Amino acid sequence: MELTREELIRYNRQIILPNFGVDGQKKLKTSKVLVIGAGGLGAPNLQYLSGAGIGTIGIVDFDVVSLTNLQRQVLFDTSQINENKAEMAISRLKKLNPEVTFNLYKEQITSENAMAIIEPYDLVIDGSDNLPTRYLVNDACVLLGKTLLYGAIFRYEGQVSVFNHEREDGTRGPNYRDIFPDPPPPEMVPSCSEGGVFGALAGIVGAMQANEAIKILAGLGSTLSGRLLLYDSLDFTTRYLNIRPSPSNPVSGDNPTITELIDYEAFCAGPTIDRQEDLVDSISVKKLEEQMKTGSVFILDVRESYEYEISNINGINIPLGELESRLDEIPKEKEVIVHCKSGVRSRKAIEVLKKNDYTQLLNLEGGILAWQEEIDSAIQVY
């Protein structure tokens, strides 16, 4: 495949790089890359991959642009709020580089469609923000023999690596399950909406992923295969952890137990807890609504104060971090219904209250997000 005169001009600044040349650009032009998620990590990936001249880029994202995205997902703007991210990304990227072919997957990637979506591509970039998708994409790439560019961000820290990359001897490098064979308990993994994320960090980590992808496709340098890069944006330090393939890896080890994609939502939800003392009593939003109509209910909202100011259901707001210093504001003789945004922080709050001899505690199932979905769709939750 030859480069046109316009392409030679467009890509001139990378064609003249040592060891890159016209041959490197041709490799990019014939490459196909799939990006899972067009959000915080996906956006910078898509911009740099499009600019570099990747021939075909697939974008998988069923979500829509929201106001809270714009702090870090700078591919979008306020006029695109409530529009599909993948569609809006393609409309913007075509203006950046009309030479690129874009494939749109306006759907959630699942165990049912992942193999068919991933199979045509040379390389996959994971820009997802949840554990089920990370395990799903990793396992699908291992089963299909695809290189996976991994990235993750949380608060001020980021991670980057190259998984399942083919070595010179034909074997494959380590993958996500060689570091994390099993997921942590769901309550130990707050989302960006629960824990926050530094906006510029998404750009840094996403650009690192794109950097590795372009190097691999053009045949340049060495990669992060076998290493996990840890980046701290607060003190601007990087560390590396060496990763080795594990013989007990369930998808790529000596005796793999996963030979086809599984139910990753159930897998990441963790085992069923049978011990009664570990259970947290809960209440549905519909049941809470009934109680609120019939009498006084003590509702404890453990979100941050700024979240409470945006929207609330008339509970008493004591942020989780202030809970132990404000126990005198919470009655022990009454039933206390605890809630947060989705249920993660409220479970932690209940643990704190139990240690301080509170016994009448209920966790609101699904938090204020469930209230928005089932009771009051007009309430704003970010």
Active-site positions read 192, 340
Of 115, 109, 162, 108, which is closest to residue 259 (Cα–Cα)?
Answer: 115
Residues with Cβ within 8 Å of residue 252, at least 6 apart in sequence: 142, 164, 172, 175, 177, 178, 245
At what angle are helices 42-52 and 199-218 packed, to 10 degrees?
40
Query: Residue type for 162, please?
Result: V
* Residue for token pair 């372009």: 214
Report residue 198 as tokens.
């530094």
Calculate ∠ Cα 326-331-332, nearest 5°. Answer: 110
User: Would you say 53 and 100 are in contact if contact means Cβ atoms under 8 Å apart?
Assistant: yes
Pairing type for strands 227-232 and 237-242 reads: antiparallel
Report residue 31 as tokens.
């490459």
CB count in 10 Å sphere of residue 234 = 10
Buried b (16+ CB within 10 A) or exposed e, 120-149: ebbbbbbbbbebbbbbbbbbbbbbeebbbb
